[in-house]
Amino acid sequence: MAEHLDIQAGKTLQGELTVPGDKSISHRAVMLAALAEGTSMVRNLVLGEDVQRTINAFVDMGVKIQSEKKILSGNPDTIIEHKINGVGLWGLTKPPQPLDMGNSGTSMRLLAGILAGQKFDSILIGDQSLSSRPMGRIIEPLSLMGAAISTKEKMTAPLMIKGGRSLHPIRYELPVASAQVKSAVLLAGLFAPGRTEVIEKVPTRDHTERMLQGFGADLFKQGEVIGVEGRPRLRACTIEVPGDLSSAAFFLVAALIVPGSELLIRGVGVNPTRTGILEILAAMGAEIRRENEHEAAGEPVADLRVRSSALRGASVRGNLIPRAIDEFPILCVAAAYARGRTEIREARELRVKESDRIATMAQELKKMGARVEELEDGLVIEGGVPLLGAEVESHGDHRVAMALAVAGLGAQGVTRVRDVACIATSFPNFTLDLHRICK
């Protein structure tokens, strides 16, 4: 991919598209298929760099994973199917070298849960951004389960994980609303005898829970308590990964802010723990309709039809934050094009994502003339000020890069987004798709 992306405003967005498979679900599909007995077929895995890191890690631990292009009857598109030969809960082998998770927080945190229960030692490393992100949040509960994980720096990667520890179940209340922490504990719980429980006061994405059930684990949920019975026999299955709402969100907002646009985005996951962005945009006046609602891989899926709409500012805080956690860069763009004030609060977690998304979005949108105030736990955006094309930076963060490209679609003149190679972590065809639908 080119080093920068130039966006020329003035075109409308028209037509139909699909978005890549959901990244969170793709990671979990690879992990659980690898730990299951038998061969799983996984269709529509996102082929971005993050999920490739998860695939490579399991290949390094002796799991055979092959991909094949397929045409299914009644479907004109070619799909990619991954065949994953599971090795069972106890069948992974020691990787020959440290496992490199690149930019992927989900790979590192979830895999740490799995590796904590293995008989061999392992090391998890990551790129510069991932190596600065907090890992204490998983080290603490996994240590309570009996894992031995050490770090060189204060609670950041590389993670040195000792093998041969016998884990025991815990009951753990999540101190941060984080699906990655919840998942790391539940996955480690697979290797402990008895029931491991997580107490989740604020709901976060529940893909791990749904997928564990799909693979035959004994999962229990009552109110705020989620439990998994340890040492199950996971059974291989077939999974059709829904499109990623977090990727679709860039096109939703693009169509909303560019007058005269209408898009149909097919096959998008609409799990209620992820649809915060749809609720926020609806409150801002967006016209987004769900059509063809159905289910795939135990997840709700729908086609989303979006028409350009006059947006107004909104107030976003509380339980909505984790349900829209990856959508704040693009939400800031929607807010900049909305009339009136948008206030995002209680969103401190944004500071420890692939970049500090509060700082990066405030800094970059200001370059385009937006009125943005950075708060310790969020942002205030006074929308409706016409944006001007500018040279802006992704800060190596895929979602910041895509959000700024969308901001450029409604700005006057040309917007140059620099350092866009990172887009490939979640959405390798973003630029191609954007050009195709800009008419």
Sheet harboring 149-151: ordered strands across? 99-100, 122-125, 159-161, 149-151
Structure tokens at 157: 């990667």
C-alpha–C-alpha distance, residues 253 and 265, integer Å: 12
- For the purposes of burial, counting CB atoms within 10 Å of the CB of 237, is it exposed (0-12), middle (13-18) or buried (19 or more)? buried
183 or 261, CB closer to ligand S3P?
A: 183
From 10-18, 165-173, 178-186, 268-276, span contacting ligand S3P (CB under 6 A): 178-186
Q: Is 326 in the site for ligand S3P (CB under 6 A)?
A: yes
Q: Which of 81, 40, 35 is nearest to 62 (CA)?
A: 35
82 or 205, CB closer to ligand S3P?
A: 205
Q: Is 271 in the site for ligand S3P (CB under 6 A)?
A: no
- Asked if 80 and 66 touch (Cβ cutoff 8 Å), the reply is no
For residue 117, CA distances in Å to 159, 166, 168 come to: 14, 7, 10
From 60-68, 89-97, 177-185, 368-376, span contacting ligand S3P (CB under 6 A): 177-185
- Asked if 430 and 248 touch (Cβ cutoff 8 Å), the reply is no
250 or 337, CB closer to ligand S3P?
A: 250
Sheet harboring 371-375: ordered strands across? 315-316, 340-344, 378-383, 371-375
Residue 291 CB partners (closer than 8 Å, separation 6+): 264, 302, 303, 304, 305
Report the site for ligand S3P in 207-266 (rule: CB under 6 A): none
337 or 430, CB closer to ligand S3P?
A: 430
Report the site for ligand S3P in 343-362 (rule: CB under 6 A): 349
Q: How far is the CB of 381 from ligand S3P (least distance, A)?
A: 21
Q: Is 425 in the site for ligand S3P (CB under 6 A)?
A: no
The alpha carbon torsion through 58, 60, 63, 66 (nearest 10 deg) reads 90
Residue 16 CB partners (closer than 8 Å, separation 6+): 263, 264, 265, 266
- Asked if 422 and 130 touch (Cβ cutoff 8 Å), the reply is no
| Residue keyed to tokens 């907002």 | 253
Q: Which of 163, 157, 175 is nearest to 108 (CA)?
A: 157
Q: Is 205 in the site for ligand S3P (CB under 6 A)?
A: yes
From 41-49, 78-86, 166-174, 175-183, span contacting ligand S3P (CB under 6 A): 175-183
27 or 165, CB closer to ligand S3P?
A: 27
Say how many residues touch ligand S3P, by CB under 6 A.
10
Q: Read off the amino acid at residue 231.
A: R
208 or 308, CB closer to ligand S3P?
A: 208
183 or 271, CB closer to ligand S3P?
A: 183
Q: Which of 51, 33, 55, 53 is nearest to 42 (CA)?
A: 33
Residue of 50, 326, 356, 433 marked catalytic: 326
Asked if 326 is an active-site residue, the reply is yes
Q: Is 183 in the site for ligand S3P (CB under 6 A)?
A: yes
Q: How far is the CB of 179 from ligand S3P (least distance, A)?
A: 4
User: For ligand S3P, which residue of 167, 179, 219, 306 counts as binding (CB under 6 A)?
Assistant: 179
User: For ligand S3P, which residue of 258, 325, 331, 437 counts as binding (CB under 6 A)?
Assistant: 325
From 33-41, 138-146, 172-180, 219-227, span contacting ligand S3P (CB under 6 A): 172-180
User: For ligand S3P, which residue of 52, 104, 107, 178 counts as binding (CB under 6 A)?
Assistant: 178
| Residue keyed to tokens 């800094």 | 363
Q: Read off the amino acid at residue 179.
A: A
Report the site for ligand S3P in 65-124 (rule: CB under 6 A): 106
For residue 350, CA distances in Å to 57, 210, 355, 359, 367 come to: 27, 26, 8, 9, 20
C-alpha–C-alpha distance, residues 133 and 124, integer Å: 13
User: For ligand S3P, which residue of 180, 196, 308, 360 counts as binding (CB under 6 A)?
Assistant: 180
Helix H, strand E, coil C: the string for 118-187 is CCCCEEEECCCCHHHCCCHHHHHHHHHCCCCEEECCCCCCCEEECCCCCCCCCEEECCCCCHHHHHHHHH
Q: How far is the CB of 76 from ligand S3P (least distance, A)?
A: 31
Q: Is 54 in the site for ligand S3P (CB under 6 A)?
A: no
Q: How far is the CB of 164 from ligand S3P (least distance, A)?
A: 28
165 or 353, CB closer to ligand S3P?
A: 353
User: For ligand S3P, which residue of 7, 9, 21, 24 counts as binding (CB under 6 A)?
Assistant: 24
From 173-181, 252-260, 305-313, 355-363, span contacting ligand S3P (CB under 6 A): 173-181
Q: How far is the CB of 326 from ligand S3P (least distance, A)?
A: 5
Binding site for ligand S3P (CB under 6 A): 24, 106, 178-180, 183, 205, 325-326, 349
Q: Provide the annotated active-site residues.
A: 326
